[in-house]
Structure 1
Amino acid sequence: MAWSTRQLAELAGTTLKTVRHYHEIGLLEEPRRAANGYKQYRIRHLIRLLRIRRLVDLGVPLSDIAAMEESDENAEQVLRTLDAELAASIERQQRMREELALIIRCRALAELPPGFDWIDAETPDADRSLLLLYSRVFGPSTMAALQELNSAPRTPVAAEFDALPADASEAARQQLAERYIPEILQQYRDHPSLEDPSAGAPQGQALTMSVVGQALAELYNPAQLDVLRRVNALLEENRRAAPRDPA
C-alpha cells in the first residue's frame, strides 16, 4: 500500500506545503514515483514525517533536526539548549503573569514601567507618563534612583506642585520653587545620578533631553513649567555659590 503526498500529509496531521518544504530542505527523502509520475509514500516516510513533526512540536528548529541525527552528543546539546530557552521563557511569562495580576487589581499600573508597581494610586497622570517615558530614555542607574525616590510618600511641596493651577501668581510660583530647592539638593546627595540623569542614556544625551523637554512641555501646565524654570535657575545660582574644590 502506498500513499499520495496529500494522504501522507493527512496521516501525519500536517499540510502538503509542509511535506514539500521538508523535501526541499532535505529532511524528508523523496519517494519513488509510480508509472503515472505520482509519488508513492510508504511506512518509512510516514514514520520519518511523524518524528520530524514530533520534534517540531517540541520547539526544535528545522535547522537543528539534521544536526541531531549526526550524533547523540549533538542531539543532547540541541535538546538542552531548547530546554534552557523554554525555562527562560517560562520565567519571563511567570513575571508577566505576576505583573498582570497587579494590573488586574490596579488598572492604573498599566501606565507605569516595570518595577514601579508600588506607586501610590493617587500619583498624578503626568508623573506616571513621565516615568513611562523615562524608562525608555534613561539608563539603569537613573531608573534605579527614580524607583527608590518614588517609593517614598510624596512630600507636601510635591503635592503642592501637582495641584498648582495654571494661573498661579508669580509670588506663589517663586515661593514654591524656593521650597523645592532643599528637597532637590537632598535628592542629589542621596542619588548623584539624578543631577545629570541623561549621562549614560542609551539613546544619547541629545535625544534623551529632547524627549524629556517635550514631555515636560506637554504634560505640565504653564505655571508648573515656570516653577521648573525657576528651580533650574536657583540650582544654577546654588552651584555658582558653592565653594570650589581647592584641588
Structure 2
Amino acid sequence: MAWSTRQLAELAGTTVKAVRHYHRIGLLEEPERAANGYKRYGAEDLVRLLRIRKLADIGLSLAQIAETVDTGEPPEEALRRLDVELAAAVDRLQEVRSELSLILSQRLPVDLPVEIASVAGTLTETDRSLALVMTRVTSPETAGAYVELLRDSEPHPSDEAFASLSADADEQRRRDVAELMLPLARRQLADYPELDWASFPTASPRIVEAVVAMMPALFNPAQLDVLVRVGRELLTDRERDGQT
C-alpha cells in the first residue's frame, strides 16, 4: 500500500505543510517517487510520522523529537522537565478559571484584579487605567502593595481637589492642592514602602518608562505639576531622613 503526501498527512492527523517541514529538518526522510514523479509513502513512513506526532503532542520540542524518534524513548530528564512545565500551566489555568468564575458571578470588571472588586465601582477612568498599569507592569510586590492601597484607602479631601484641578489652575491653587495631598502621600508611603519610586530606576527601568509615558495621557498639566511638587517634597523627606 502506498500513499501520497496528502493521504499520509490525513492518516496521521496532520497537514501537508507539516510533513514537508519534517522533510526539511530531517525528521522524516523523503520517499522514492513513483513514475509520475509523485512521492509514495509506505507503512514505515506512516509509523514514523505517527511517532513524531505523538512526541509533539506530549510537548517535546522538535530537537528533542529528533533525538528520540528512532527509539520512541525520550530522555527521562526531558520528560520530568516537561511535567513540571505542564503542572505550572495547569495551575495557571485553574487560577484563570477561578478568576473568571468570580467575574461572572459578581459581574466584576475584567481589566482589574479581583482583589479590588470591592472598590472598582468607586474608581475613576483615570484610576482604572493607572491601576491596570500598576498591577500588570510592576513587580508582584509593588502590584500587591498597590492593590492593598486601593482596597484599604478611604476618601480624602485631596481626592476631589486633585481630580477637579483645571489645566490652567494658577500657582496658588496648585500649591494648595499639593500641600493638601502631601500628608496623605507621606502616610501611604510609610504604610506601603513597596511603592517608593526611588528604588524603581535601578530595579526595573521599564516600569518608570511605562508610567512616565502614560502620565500625560492621564493627567492635565496642572495635575502633573502637583504630582511633581509632591514627589519633590517626598524626595526631600528621604534625603533629610538619610542625614539624621
Instruction: Give the TM-score normalised by structure 1.
Output: 0.71
Q: Which amino acid letter does the alignment assign opposite residue 181 of structure 1?
A: L
Rounded Cα–Cα distance in structure 2 between residues aligned with 1:149 and 1:31? 66
Alpha-carbon offset, residue 87 of structure 1: 1.9
Q: Per the alignment, in what secondary structure is the counterpart of residue 154 of structure 1?
A: coil
Instruction: Report the CA distance shift for 1:50/1:155 in structure 2 as closer, same or farther (over 3 A).
Output: same
Alpha-carbon offset, residue 152 of structure 1: 0.7
Rounded Cα–Cα distance in structure 2 between residues aligned with 1:10 and 1:242? 73
Cα RMSD of the aligned pairs, angstroms, is 3.9
Alignment of 1:168-207 (within 5 A): 174-195=175-196, 196=198, 198-203=200-205
- The structure having more radius of gyration, on CA atoms, is 1
Gaps of 5+ in 2: none
Decide whether the 8 Å contact of 2:31 with 2:39 is kept in 1. Answer: yes
Rounded Cα–Cα distance in structure 2 between residues aligned with 1:241 and 1:81? 51
Q: Which amino acid letter does the alignment assign opposite residue 184 of structure 1?
A: A
Rounded Cα–Cα distance in structure 2 between residues aligned with 1:40 and 1:149? 68
* Residue of structure 2 equivalent to 1:53: 53
* Residue of structure 2 equivalent to 1:124: 124
Alpha-carbon offset, residue 220 of structure 1: 2.5
Q: Per the alignment, in what secondary structure is the counterpart of residue 123 of structure 1?
A: coil
**In the alignment, structure 1 residue 219 sits paired with structure 2 residue 218:** yes
Cα deviation code 1:159-198 (max 9, x no counterpart): 3235425277876654443333322222232233444253
Decide whether the 8 Å contact of 2:4 with 2:40 is kept in 1. Answer: yes
Q: Per the alignment, in what secondary structure is the counterpart of residue 54 of structure 2?
A: helix
Rounded Cα–Cα distance in structure 1 between residues aligned with 2:44 and 2:60? 21
Cα deviation code 1:112-139 (max 9, x no counterpart): 4686555432111112212333456655
Rounded Cα–Cα distance in structure 2 between residues aligned with 1:87 and 1:132? 28
Rounded Cα–Cα distance in structure 2 between residues aligned with 1:62 and 1:235? 54
Rounded Cα–Cα distance in structure 2 between residues aligned with 1:47 and 1:243? 72
* Residue of structure 1 equivalent to 2:13: 13
* Residue of structure 2 equivalent to 1:89: 89
Decide whether the 8 Å contact of 2:48 with 2:69 is kept in 1. Answer: no
Gaps of 5+ in 1: none
Rounded Cα–Cα distance in structure 1 between residues aligned with 2:5 and 2:178? 78
Instruction: Report the CA distance shift for 1:171/1:24 in structure 2 as closer, same or farther (over 3 A).
Output: closer
Rounded Cα–Cα distance in structure 2 between residues aligned with 1:240 and 1:39? 77
Q: Which amino acid letter does the alignment assign opposite residue 228 of structure 1?
A: L
Query: Which stretch has the larger CA shift, 121-130 or 218-227?
Result: 218-227
Alpha-carbon offset, residue 48 of structure 1: 2.4
Alpha-carbon offset, residue 151 of structure 1: 2.2
* Residue of structure 2 equivalent to 1:77: 77
Rounded Cα–Cα distance in structure 2 between residues aligned with 1:237 and 1:29? 71
Q: Per the alignment, in what secondary structure is the counterpart of residue 198 of structure 1?
A: helix
* Residue of structure 1 equivalent to 2:151: 151
The structure, 1 or 2, with the larger RCO (C-alpha pairs under 8 Å, 6+ apart) is 1
Rounded Cα–Cα distance in structure 2 between residues aligned with 1:223 and 1:35? 81
Decide whether the 8 Å contact of 1:137 with 1:201 is kept in 2. Answer: no
Q: Which amino acid letter does the alignment assign opposite residue 217 of structure 2?
A: E
Q: Per the alignment, in what secondary structure is the counterpart of residue 181 of structure 2?
A: helix
Rounded Cα–Cα distance in structure 2 between residues aligned with 1:238 and 1:231? 11
Q: Per the alignment, in what secondary structure is the counterpart of residue 60 of structure 2?
A: coil
Rounded Cα–Cα distance in structure 1 between residues aligned with 2:41 and 2:241? 87
Instruction: Report the CA distance shift for 1:213/1:142 in structure 2 as closer, same or farther (over 3 A).
Output: same
Q: Per the alignment, in what secondary structure is the counterpart of residue 133 of structure 2?
A: helix
Q: Per the alignment, in what secondary structure is the counterpart of residue 202 of structure 2?
A: coil
Query: Which stretch has the larger CA shift, 147-156 or 134-143?
Result: 134-143
Decide whether the 8 Å contact of 1:137 with 1:203 is kept in 2. Answer: no
Cα deviation code 1:76-129 (max 9, x no counterpart): 33333322222222222222333344444445341x468655543211111221
Rounded Cα–Cα distance in structure 1 between residues aligned with 2:56 and 2:240? 69
Query: Which stretch has the larger CA shift, 56-65 or 221-230?
Result: 221-230
Q: Which amino acid letter does the alignment assign opposite residue 108 of structure 1?
A: P
Q: Per the alignment, in what secondary structure is the counterpart of residue 150 of structure 1?
A: helix
